[in-house]
């Protein structure tokens, strides 16, 4: 996944989801979507993609990044058909889109550069610092192996001990 995100960062020169969408001519349409955070839609007649996002959610960038994950990873798949046929495959595709979004919005360099400020932060504080959902922080910290053995063994301690 990291290599796919690296290719996107290299191609577009940014991790700003609005700029990436603009370069791809993907329209972002904030709408009231009920319990859905967002979805990627392809209009075959016009050969365009749209990202619908729930106008009520706080962190719209993560949802847009998640939908870009579907665009870069799954755009050839009919996800509506998959959702009706296989919940395990749907869950896998959603997890992949979440990982893509986490990698896009929180690069390893961003964490490394912020270490002096976040090294004693809780996961919740790190999520607030980076303005990302807690799930993105969980993924990135475990992916970068930043959690100490003590933190992994004792989940009641909610602080990070960052080490490389």
| 156 pLDDT above the threshold of 50 | no
Q: Which of 45, 67, 94, 153 is catalytic?
A: 67
Whether 127 maps to a domain, the answer reads: yes
Whether 117 and 44 map to the same domain: the answer is: no
pLDDT digits (tens, 9 = 90+) for 9-54: 999 999 999 999 999 999 999 988 888 899 888 888 888 899 999 8
Question: In which element (H, E) is residue 88 found?
Answer: helix 87-105
pTM: 0.81
Whether 158 maps to a domain, the answer reads: no
Whether 65 maps to a domain, the answer reads: yes
Q: Which domain holds residue 78?
A: 2-105
- The encoded tokens of residue 74 equal 């799954």
Whether 88 and 117 map to the same domain: the answer is: no
The tally of CA atoms less than 13 A away on the side-chain side of residue 58 is 4
Whether 21 and 50 map to the same domain: the answer is: yes
| 84 pLDDT above the threshold of 90 | no
Q: Using CA atoms, how far apart are residues 17 and 61, in angstroms rounded to an integer?
A: 7
Q: Is 67 a catalytic residue?
A: yes
Quote the pLDDT of residue 149.
42
Quote the pLDDT of residue 157.
47
Quote the pLDDT of residue 80.
54
b/e map 90-128, b = 16+ CB within 10 Å: eeebbebbbbbbbbbbbbeeebeeeeeebeebebebbbe
Domain count, the chain: 2
Quote the pLDDT of residue 147.
42
Whether 13 and 94 map to the same domain: the answer is: yes
Whether 100 and 148 map to the same domain: the answer is: no
pLDDT digits (tens, 9 = 90+) for 116-155: 999 888 989 999 999 999 999 999 888 776 544 444 444 4
Whether 16 and 71 map to the same domain: the answer is: yes
Torsion of CA 73, 78, 81, 85, to 10 degrees: -40
Alpha helices in 25-78 (DSSP H): 60-74
Whether 122 maps to a domain, the answer reads: yes
Whether 33 and 83 map to the same domain: the answer is: yes
Q: How far is CA 133 from CA 102, 139, 155, in A?
A: 9, 10, 19
Whether 77 maps to a domain, the answer reads: yes
What sign has the CA pseudo-torsion 154, 122, 64, 21? negative
């Amino acid at each position: 996944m990291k290599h796919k995100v690296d290719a996107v960062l290299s191609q577009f020169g940014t991790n700003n989801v609005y700029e990436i969408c603009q370069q791809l001519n993907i329209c972002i349409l904030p709408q009231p979507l009920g319990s859905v955070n967002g979805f990627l839609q392809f209009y075959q007649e016009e050969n365009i993609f749209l990202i619908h996002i729930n106008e009520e959610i706080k962190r719209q960038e993560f949802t847009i990044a998640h939908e870009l994950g579907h665009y870069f990873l799954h755009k050839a798949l009919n996800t509506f058909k998959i959702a009706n046929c296989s919940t395990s495959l749907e869950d896998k595709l959603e997890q992949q889109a979440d990982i893509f979004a986490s990698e896009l919005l929180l690069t390893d360099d961003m964490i490394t550069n912020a270490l002096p400020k976040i090294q004693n932060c809780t996961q919740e504080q790190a999520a607030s610092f980076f303005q990302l959902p807690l799930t993105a922080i969980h993924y990135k910290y475990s992916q970068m192996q930043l959690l100490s053995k003590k933190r992994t063994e004792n989940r009641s301690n909610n602080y990070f001990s960052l080490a490389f």
